[in-house]
A and B are shown apart, each in its own frame.
Chain A
Amino acid sequence: MQTASACDSASGQKTQSVGLELLDVTCRFGDVAALKDVSFTAKPAEFMSIIGPSGCGKSTLLRSIAGLERIDDGGIHVGGKDVHALRPSEREVAFVFQSYALYPHMTCRQNIAAPLVMTELSALGRTPLLHRLSPKARHTRARIASRVDKIADQLQIGPMLDRRPGQLSGGQRQRVALGRALIREPKLFLLDEPLANLDAALRNTTRAELHALQRRVGATTLFVTHDQAEAMAISDRIVVMFDGQVRQIGTPDDLYRNPADIDVARFLSQPWLNCIHMDTAAHHLEAGPGRPTARVRGLPLREQTGVVAFRAEHASVHPESDRAEPALRVTVDRAEHAGSDANLFVTLQGSDTQLVVRIPSSDIPRWPGGTPANLRIDTEAAWIFPVPEQTADTDRDAMKVA
Chain B
Amino acid sequence: MSAPPDAPTVLADSRDVQPEQRSTGGVLAFPAIFLLVTLLFVPSSGVLIMSLTDYQFGMSGFAYVGLDNYRAMLSDARFLNSLTNTLRYVGTVAPISILLGLGLAILIEAQGALRGLYRAVFFLPVTATLVAMATAWEVLLHPSFGLVNTALAGLGFDKQRFLTDPDIALWSLAAIGVWKMVGYNTLLFIAGMSQIPHDLYEAASIDGAERGWRRFTLVTWPLLGPVTLFVITITLIRAFSEFETVAVLTNGGPNGATDMMLYTLYEEAFRFFNIGLAAAISVAFLGFVAALSILKVRLFDRTARYV
Cβ–Cβ < 8 Å partners of B155 in chain A? none
The answer to whether B223 touches A115 (Cβ under 8 A) is no
Question: Smallest CB–CB gap between A187 and chain B, Å?
Answer: 13
A114 contacts chain B at the CB level, 8 A cutoff = yes
The answer to whether A105 touches B210 (Cβ under 8 A) is no
The answer to whether A169 touches B203 (Cβ under 8 A) is no
Interface residues of A in 96-118 (CB under 8 A from B): 97, 99, 101-106, 114-115, 118
Interface residues of B in 170-184 (CB under 8 A from A): none
The answer to whether B218 touches A68 (Cβ under 8 A) is no
A123 contacts chain B at the CB level, 8 A cutoff = yes
Cβ–Cβ < 8 Å partners of B217 in chain A? 126
Across the interface, name the chain B residue whose C-beta is closest to A69: B202
The answer to whether B306 touches A104 (Cβ under 8 A) is yes
A94 contacts chain B at the CB level, 8 A cutoff = yes
Across the interface, name the chain A residue whose C-beta is closest to B200: A101
B158 contacts chain A at the CB level, 8 A cutoff = no
A180 contacts chain B at the CB level, 8 A cutoff = yes
Cβ–Cβ < 8 Å partners of B210 in chain A? 87-89
- Report the separation of the CA atoms of residues A170 and B5 in the bound assembly, to the nearest whole angstrom: 8
Cβ–Cβ < 8 Å partners of A68 in chain B? 202, 205-206
Across the interface, name the chain B residue whose C-beta is closest to A170: B6
The answer to whether A170 touches B3 (Cβ under 8 A) is yes
> When A95-B203, A118-B214 are in contact, do A89 and B306 touch as well, CB less than 8 Å?
no
A164 contacts chain B at the CB level, 8 A cutoff = yes
Cβ–Cβ < 8 Å partners of A87 in chain B? 205, 210
The answer to whether B202 touches A97 (Cβ under 8 A) is yes
Count contacts on A: residues with CB < 8 A to the other chain.
31
Cβ–Cβ < 8 Å partners of A104 in chain B? 223, 306-307
Cβ–Cβ < 8 Å partners of B203 in chain A? 95, 97, 101-103, 180
Interface of A is mostly: mixed
Question: Smallest CB–CB gap between A242 and chain B, Å?
Answer: 25
The answer to whether A95 touches B6 (Cβ under 8 A) is no
Across the interface, name the chain A residue whose C-beta is closest to B207: A115
- Report the separation of the CA atoms of residues A165 and B199 in the bound assembly, to the nearest whole angstrom: 15
Question: Smallest CB–CB gap between B228 and chain A, Å?
Answer: 12
Q: Which one of A67, A93, A105, A166 has the greatest number of beta carbons of chain B within 10 Å?
A: A105
A66 contacts chain B at the CB level, 8 A cutoff = yes
Interface residues of A in 133-187 (CB under 8 A from B): 164-166, 169-170, 180
B31 contacts chain A at the CB level, 8 A cutoff = no
B58 contacts chain A at the CB level, 8 A cutoff = no
Interface of B is mostly: helix
- Report the separation of the CA atoms of residues A91 and B241 in the bound assembly, to the nearest whole angstrom: 54
Q: Which one of B3, B208, B213, B214 has the greatest number of beta carbons of chain A within 10 Å?
A: B208
Question: Smallest CB–CB gap between B2 and chain A, Å?
Answer: 8
Across the interface, name the chain A residue whose C-beta is closest to B209: A118
Name A99's contact: one of B197, B214, B225, B305 (CB within 8 Å): B197
Interface residues of B in 125-159 (CB under 8 A from A): none
> When A104-B306, A123-B213 are in contact, do A118 and B207 touch as well, CB less than 8 Å?
yes
Return the CB mask of A325-349 against B: 1 if under 8 Å, else 0: 0000000000000000000000000
Cβ–Cβ < 8 Å partners of A165 in chain B? 306
A119 contacts chain B at the CB level, 8 A cutoff = yes
- Report the separation of the CA atoms of residues A285 and B304 in the bound assembly, to the nearest whole angstrom: 69
- Report the separation of the CA atoms of residues A52 and B307 in the bound assembly, to the nearest whole angstrom: 33
The answer to whether A119 touches B1 (Cβ under 8 A) is no
A204 contacts chain B at the CB level, 8 A cutoff = no
Across the interface, name the chain B residue whose C-beta is closest to A94: B206
- Report the separation of the CA atoms of residues A166 and B306 in the bound assembly, to the nearest whole angstrom: 6
- Report the separation of the CA atoms of residues A7 and B217 in the bound assembly, to the nearest whole angstrom: 25
A54 contacts chain B at the CB level, 8 A cutoff = no
B26 contacts chain A at the CB level, 8 A cutoff = no
The answer to whether A89 touches B199 (Cβ under 8 A) is no
The answer to whether B306 touches A105 (Cβ under 8 A) is yes
Cβ–Cβ < 8 Å partners of B214 in chain A? 118
Interface residues of B in 194-243 (CB under 8 A from A): 197, 199-200, 202-210, 213-214, 217-219, 222-223, 225
A362 contacts chain B at the CB level, 8 A cutoff = no
Cβ–Cβ < 8 Å partners of B208 in chain A? 89, 115, 118-119
- Report the separation of the CA atoms of residues A165 and B203 in the bound assembly, to the nearest whole angstrom: 15
The answer to whether B206 touches A115 (Cβ under 8 A) is yes
A16 contacts chain B at the CB level, 8 A cutoff = no
The answer to whether B306 touches A101 (Cβ under 8 A) is no
Interface residues of B in 267-303 (CB under 8 A from A): none
Across the interface, name the chain B residue whose C-beta is closest to A106: B222
- Report the separation of the CA atoms of residues A236 and B235 in the bound assembly, to the nearest whole angstrom: 59
A197 contacts chain B at the CB level, 8 A cutoff = yes
Cβ–Cβ < 8 Å partners of B305 in chain A? 166
- Report the separation of the CA atoms of residues A101 and B210 in the bound assembly, to the nearest whole angstrom: 15
Cβ–Cβ < 8 Å partners of B1 in chain A? 99, 101
- Report the separation of the CA atoms of residues A101 and B197 in the bound assembly, to the nearest whole angstrom: 8
21 contacting pairs across A/B (C-beta < 8 A):
A67-B205, A89-B209, A89-B210, A97-B199, A97-B202, A99-B2, A99-B3, A101-B200, A103-B200, A103-B219, A104-B307, A105-B223, A105-B306, A114-B207, A118-B204, A118-B207, A118-B208, A118-B218, A119-B207, A166-B4, A169-B6
Interface residues of A, Cβ cutoff 8 Å to B: 63, 66-68, 87-89, 93-95, 97, 99, 101-106, 114-115, 118-119, 123, 126, 164-166, 169-170, 180, 197
Taking A88-B205, A97-B199 as known contacts, 9 extra A-B pairs with beta carbons closer than 8 A to each other, sorted by chain A number, are: A63-B202, A68-B206, A103-B203, A104-B223, A118-B208, A118-B218, A119-B208, A170-B3, A180-B203
